[in-house]
Amino acid sequence: MFPKFKKITLQNGLQIYHIPMNKGSGVISVDVFYNVGSRDEVMGKSGIAHMLEHLNFKSTKNRKAGEFDAIVKGFGGVNNASTGFDYTHYFIKCASSNLEVCLDLYADIMQNLSLKDKEFQPERKVVLEERLWRTDNDPFGYLFFRLYNAAFLYHPYHWTPIGFRKDIENWSIKDIKEFHAKFYQPQNAVLLITGDIGEKAAFDAAKKYFASVKNKSEIPRLHCTEPAQDGEKLSVIYKNSEAQIVAVAFKIPPFNHPDAAAIKAMDIYLSGGKSSLLQRVLVDEKKLANQINIYDMSAKDENLFIVFAVCNQGVSGEALRSEILALIEKAKKAKISDDDMLKIKNTLSSDLIYSLDSASKVAQMYGSYIVRGDLDALFRLEREIKSLDKSAVKKAMKTYLSLKSSTSIILRKENDE
């Protein structure tokens, strides 16, 4: 199922992967993952990893601001980037013939980024606007941010990658430069060249552009471990919203834990499709909610398994939360039917296959596991899905869907009881 790959590591520590696929398509995905995300920030300087993602498309010693995007667009490519809790990802999808241009662009921003204050200040305003429309003015975004504030006390998952507004307003260009110098180094990066290109051509080109890039310093690593949660948390927050929204989150182990497949199975059993437990009972039968979604936020460290639910008019968040928790308790004790188990395994298998059906998806999947330090966890996942049984799913629900490790937030208008 998994495309084969070859790997080399340059003397400067840069890991380079060649993943051949879609022969004859003439298309490749060129991806760079940096082992840095909001997890690597400190309180008072939150959001810097995301800010730096924006600034990587500004000027370098060799190119003007915007030239990166213009060059990619000029040869018909598509590029973008994203910042998460654990890593930052840049990609270019293009014709195989443009590989060297892509590598030249990536090597340039790794070692020659200008980071000028006159480019930083306007981009700070862009990020503040992004925070405004995605978090502050969006009930779901605001609830998501506040959920992490409540669930994590000590670990940097206490904030999401956008960061706190006051931190965004108070960064200095010095802060940005220091963060770039620490984390944007070849020893902290992974380059993937995926698609219709030969191994020799891929590795030769990568060496040409990256072998001479120097490291600047040791990479600082996180020492914060979240204290064990010692009781359920429940908060009510007030925000202008047409309906009350409920979030119930439970702590789950890192992405490469042996229970990873069982945790994904919990998601499908509880909310995967019309026949799933929460959807069937809360939306269709009792009509308490009009929307139920679950997010498995598995990450490098302990993270969250989140149930989001939107109340129907006249239904209180407290009532819906109580029903969600009651159904979860019921699910822990009830038998899982053969049909449900078959659906779970088929869905997990098809989702995995779908995530590997193009060069860009393969690069995203492989890169996300490699940069977090465990590609084998991806290969184990296929085996774990095949061997998954009812007892493993039941055990996971009993282990992780514990009220003691839960954090719940109800969002509603003030005075909307």
Phi, psi angles (nearest 5°) of residue 91: -140, 150
Report yes or no: 213 and 37 within 8 Å, Cβ to Cβ: no
Phi, psi angles (nearest 5°) of residue 323: -65, -40
Q: State the average pLDDT over residues 353-382.
A: 96
Residue 222 pLDDT level (bands cut at 50, 70, 90): confident
pLDDT over threshold 80, residue 417:
no
pLDDT attached to residue 416: 67
Q: State the average pLDDT over residues 291-299.
A: 96
Report yes or no: 63 and 108 within 8 Å, Cβ to Cβ: yes
| Mean pLDDT of all residues belonging to the chain | 96
* Catalytic choice (41, 53, 119, 323): 53
**Separation CA 264–CA 267 (nearest Å):** 5
Radius of gyration of the chain from Cα atoms? 23
User: What's the predicted TM-score (pTM) here?
Assistant: 0.95
Domain boundaries, given as residue ranges, for the chain: 6-211, 233-412
Report yes or no: 192 and 203 within 8 Å, Cβ to Cβ: no
Which positions ≥6 away from 345 have C-beta within 8 Å? Answer: 265, 385, 386, 388
**Separation CA 35–CA 33 (nearest Å):** 6
Q: State the average pLDDT over residues 13-18.
A: 98
Domain 233-412: which topology? Cytochrome Bc1 Complex; Chain A, domain 1 (3.30.830)
Q: State the average pLDDT over residues 211-216.
A: 96
pLDDT over threshold 90, residue 273:
no
Cα dist from 322 to 233, 250, 309, 327, 417, whole Å:
14, 15, 12, 9, 15
- pLDDT above 90 as % of the chain: 95
> Annotated catalytic, 53?
yes
Q: State the average pLDDT over residues 74-85.
A: 97
Read off the pLDDT of residues 98-108 as tens digits, 9 standing for 90 and up: 999 999 999 99
Domain 6-211: which topology? Cytochrome Bc1 Complex; Chain A, domain 1 (3.30.830)
